Amino acid sequence: MPLSRSLAKLAGGLLLLALLAIGGSSIWFWNAFNGNGPLAEEKTVVVPKGSGVATIAALLAEEGVIRSPLVFKIGVQLFGKEQPLQAGEFRFPAAASPRGAMQVLIEGKSVLHRITIAEGLTVREIFGVLQGTPLLEGPLPPLPPEGSLLPETYFFVRGDARGAIVERMQINMRAQLADLWEKRDTKLTTLESPEEAVILASIVEKETGVKAERARVAAVFHNRLKIGMPLQSDPTAIYGITLGRQDLGRNLTYADLKAVNDYNTYVIPGLPPAPIANPGIEALHAVLNPITSKELYFVADGTGGHAFAETLDQHNKNVAKWRKLQKQSQGQ
């Protein structure tokens, strides 16, 4: 056989082997990049800001999301180079493939967390909740006016600014208040502005935690306002002492109820000058759509709710029942 023919046959054989090797490597890589990963169950991983592909690949391998950082890096270079990987907190499903992990980071859908702000908290109390939430970052802004924050459940991602949450609360309060004011009972004459609605709603919020009672408690206060009767709300007397800076830490005294300040509705006529807390949507709706009643009084009934009365005589009987229950609970 001529030498040239032998060399040509050898070259052809080597080319075939190379093609087979390349093909085999391609099949191996395809299976490695698209096959199931090692995660036995769903896992959350935080990818720091500024992380490059190599850093992310090493992190995912360390967290057990992928087996090979090299496979992940090559896959990103081949299939994801036009779509940058995002930083944040991400949830990877069980058995996620390297391609699947890459897609999670490309889509950038960070894990959502929630924070629930209870109705009736003061601004300082709400700020305390936000400050104590470690997944939020940054300082809090100056204290906004009482009653300007809407209590709700708010969703956020790790690293969101505390100030941004406060701003969302303010925006939501303005939007909800405007909507509820437009839909208020057209026969309502005791409130002259949305601001007064927030003031009364904050009192209702502090007076009862029973959802079904809010519109009834609101009706009592509306009835008192109509006839010029003092609201005589204990929470306003408390706020007049503390100004929302701390808990009173004790029971109200007779002297407290007689204390002269801008908030004590045992002393001042009508509404106080500003809210005493941040009311929720239900309380706002209640004061803008109270039930129709002639009731002027209410007192705790020992079940978590209140006993209502139209006359002082009936109210005094309800108060006597409440005091008897108090004594019994104290073992007297």
Q: List pLDDT tens digits, range 21-64.
A: 555 567 887 888 889 999 999 999 999 999 999 999 999 999 99
Beta strands 153-157 and 112-116, pairing class = antiparallel
Of 321, 319, 320, 327, nearest in space to 299 by CA: 319
pLDDT at 17 over 80: no
Backbone φ and ψ for 137, nearest 5 degrees, come out as: -125, 165
Of 1-10, 107-116, 128-137, 156-165, which range is least confident?
1-10
pTM exceeds 0.85, yes or no = no
Q: Mention every residue, 6+ apart, whose C-beta is less than 8 A from residue 63.
A: 43, 45
- Residue 125 structure tokens: 């109390």
Percent helix, percent strand, percent coil in the chain, to nearest 5: 50, 10, 40
Band of the pLDDT at 80, cuts 50, 70, 90? confident
Kindly provide the residue ranges of all beta strands, DSSP E only, lying in the chain, ordered along the sequence.
Answer: 43-47, 88-92, 112-116, 153-157, 297-300, 306-309
- Residue 134 structure tokens: 């470690």
Of 110, 159, 162, nearest in space to 132 by CA: 162
The share of the chain scoring above pLDDT 90, in percent, equals 73
Task: Give the residue-averaged pLDDT of 143-147.
Answer: 97
Contact 24, 32 (CB under 8 A): no
Q: Mention every residue, 6+ apart, whose C-beta is less than 8 A from residue 216.
A: 290, 291, 293, 295, 298, 308
Band of the pLDDT at 288, cuts 50, 70, 90? very high
- A 10 A CB-CB count for 10 gives 10
Q: What is the pLDDT of residues 210-248, one digit of tens each?
A: 888 999 999 999 999 999 999 999 999 999 999 999 888
Name the burial class of residue 255, with classes exposed (0-12), middle (13-18) and buried (19+) by CB atoms within 10 angstroms of its CB.
exposed
Contact 117, 152 (CB under 8 A): yes
Which residue ranges make up each domain of the chain?
A: 47-110, 112-171, 186-329
Task: Give the residue-averaged pLDDT of 164-190.
Answer: 96
Q: Mention every residue, 6+ apart, whose C-beta is less than 8 A from residue 176.
A: 150, 281, 284
Q: How far apart are the first and last CA of the chain?
A: 121
Contact 283, 204 (CB under 8 A): yes
- For tokens 């408390």, name the residue: 238
Overall fold of domain 47-110: Dna Ligase; domain 1 (3.30.1490)
Neighbouring-strand partners of residue 114: 155
